[in-house]
Amino acid sequence: MHHIKTLGYLVSSISVLLLAIVSWQSAQKTTAMSACLIVGAVTSVTGMFCRWITYELEERKKQGR
C-alpha cells in the first residue's frame, strides 16, 4: 500500500509537469499567463510533495521510528 501511495503522488506530479509543457506555447504569449502557469505547476507539485511528506511521517510514527 505504501508504494502505491508514493507512486500516486509521483504520477500526479509528472502529469502536472506534462500538462504545463503542453500549455507552455500558449501561455508564453503574455508574461502574466507564463507566470500563472509556472506558479500553478510549482505549487501543485509542492502541495503533493507536502502531502507525501506528511504521509511518510505518519507511517513512520505508526511503525515507531
Q: What are the pLDDT digits (tens) for 17-53?
A: 999 999 999 999 999 999 999 999 999 999 999 999 9
Range of the domain at 29: 2-63
Cβ atoms of residues 27 and 63 within 8 Å: no
User: Can you tell me the distance from the alpha carbon of 28 to that of 31, in angstroms, rounded to the nearest whole number?
Assistant: 7
If one counts the domains in the chain, the total is 1
Q: What are the C-alpha distances in Å from 45 to residues 1, 20, 60, 65?
A: 21, 11, 22, 27
What pTM does this model have? 0.81
User: Can you tell me the distance from the alpha carbon of 65 to that of 56, in angstroms, rounded to the nearest whole number?
Assistant: 11
pLDDT value of residue 30? 96
Q: Is the pLDDT of residue 1 over 80?
A: no
